[in-house]
Amino acid sequence: MADYEELKAQLLFKLYRKGKWGGAHTPLKNLFHLMDNSSIKDSKKAIRELLNLGMIFVKISTGEEHISLNPHKNKEIKDYILKILKINPQMSKTLH
């Protein structure tokens, strides 16, 4: 189960690094490039779970699903990424 939690944290971190909060969204397929089919299936399951937790938004735009982080859960998302990926907040300028 730790690998699954890490997958969720990696998906959140990718959106975080790209600054995809609220109205700034990206096509869902951008998260999946360079993944094999089984990884994509696991990632879609993780995205559904993150959506149920309210950490992300999924909307239809330009005929495809787009994804962004929920800006109201900013601190919760940062804390989750730091905890699961074991990033030292003092060493990482990305998560300020």
pLDDT digit string, tens, across residues 26-57: 999 888 877 888 888 999 999 999 999 999 99
Answer yes or no: is 92 within a domain: no
- Provide the domain limits for residue 18: 2-85
Answer yes or no: is 95 within a domain: no
Predicted TM-score of the model (pTM):
0.86
On the question of pLDDT at 67 being above 90, the answer is yes
Q: Using alpha carbons only, give the angle 80, 75, 13 rounded to the nearest 5 degrees.
A: 50
The answer to whether residues 12 and 50 touch, using CB atoms and an 8 Å cutoff, is yes
Q: CATH number, domain at 35? A: 1.10.10.10
**pLDDT on residue 66:** 95
How many structural domains is the chain composed of? 1
Q: What is the pLDDT of residues 10-29, one digit of tens each?
A: 999 999 999 999 999 999 98
Answer yes or no: is 91 within a domain: no
56 — phi, psi (to 5°)? -135, 160
On the question of pLDDT at 90 being above 90, the answer is no
Answer yes or no: is 40 within a domain: yes
**pLDDT on residue 96:** 56
CB atoms within 10 A of CB 63: 6
